[in-house]
Amino acid sequence: MTSEQRSRNMAAIHSKGTKPEMLVRRWLWSRGFRYRLNSPRLPGKPDLVLRRYRTCIFVNGCFWHGHKVTFDMENSECCKIPKTNREFWVAKIRRNQKRDAEERVRLKEMGWHCITVWECELKPQVRQQTLTALERTLHHIFLQDHSVTYEPMDEGLPMAAENAPSARSDFGFASSKE
Ligand SMILES: [Zn+2]
């Protein structure tokens, strides 16, 4: 493959609506999840945004986002950096990794949960496991977020019960003692 062909292939992989993303979308839709695509107002334009779950999902290509590429290892089983123009590719992938991390931080500051699904996790032999885990994670997030909302009320009840029966009228916030 010439480097030009390679760039074209990679550009095709990078474009929106690619197969890995479609797999995730189809699965979530069939399981009753509703989402928006490529929300332009959020950092990093997340592939899928689930408002109800306050969650952004990124379906990442292993090459572009440098999956499992660490500082001491500039290659991984799913991100093989081309030998030609190696420095260029390494620098590019590092930049992408850095940008991804920064966008996640900003999203978290805005109160969003972020989930990354990697292309290699959607290979046929592991796909179902990944999608099932994704669904479980979303339910977990939902329960967690909502239990935080209800906790103060639950804690309020035992305290009220400790009051003497005569203090029942103090149950509300307006005190009747004055
Ligand atoms: Zn990967």
CA–centroid distance, 129 to ligand 1, in Å, is: 15
pLDDT of residue 9: 62
Q: Using pLDDT thresholds of 50, 70 and 90, give the confidence band for residue 152.
A: low
CA–centroid distance, 150 to ligand 1, in Å, is: 38
pLDDT in tens, 70-122: 877 778 889 988 889 989 999 999 999 999 999 999 999 999 999 999 999 99
List the beta bridge partners of residue 118: 60
| String of DSSP letters for 28-48 | HHHTT---EES-TTSTT--SE
Residue predicted with more confidence, 1 or 38: 38
Q: What is the mean pLDDT of the chain?
A: 81
Does residue 9 contact residue 61 with C-beta atoms inside 8 Å? no
Query: Does 149 score more than 60 pLDDT?
Result: no
Distance of CA 84 to the CA centre of its chain: 33
User: Mean pLDDT throughout 114-134?
Assistant: 96
Interior/surface letters 55-72, b for 16+ CB within 10 angstroms, e for the rest: bbbbbbbbbbbbbebeee
CA–centroid distance, 149 to ligand 1, in Å, is: 36
CA–centroid distance, 45 to ligand 1, in Å, is: 20
pTM: 0.72
Cα separation, 39 vs 134, whole angstroms: 20
| Region 3-146: CATH code | 3.40.960.10
| String of DSSP letters for 57-120 | EEEE-TTTTTTT--SS-S-BTTB---STTHHHHHHHHHHHHHHHHHHHHHHHHTT-EEEEEEGG
CA–centroid distance, 11 to ligand 1, in Å, is: 17
pLDDT in tens, 19-42: 899 999 999 999 999 999 988 889
Residue predicted with more confidence, 25 or 161: 25
User: What residue ranges do the domains of the chain occupy?
Assistant: 3-146
Query: Does 55 score more than 90 pLDDT?
Result: yes
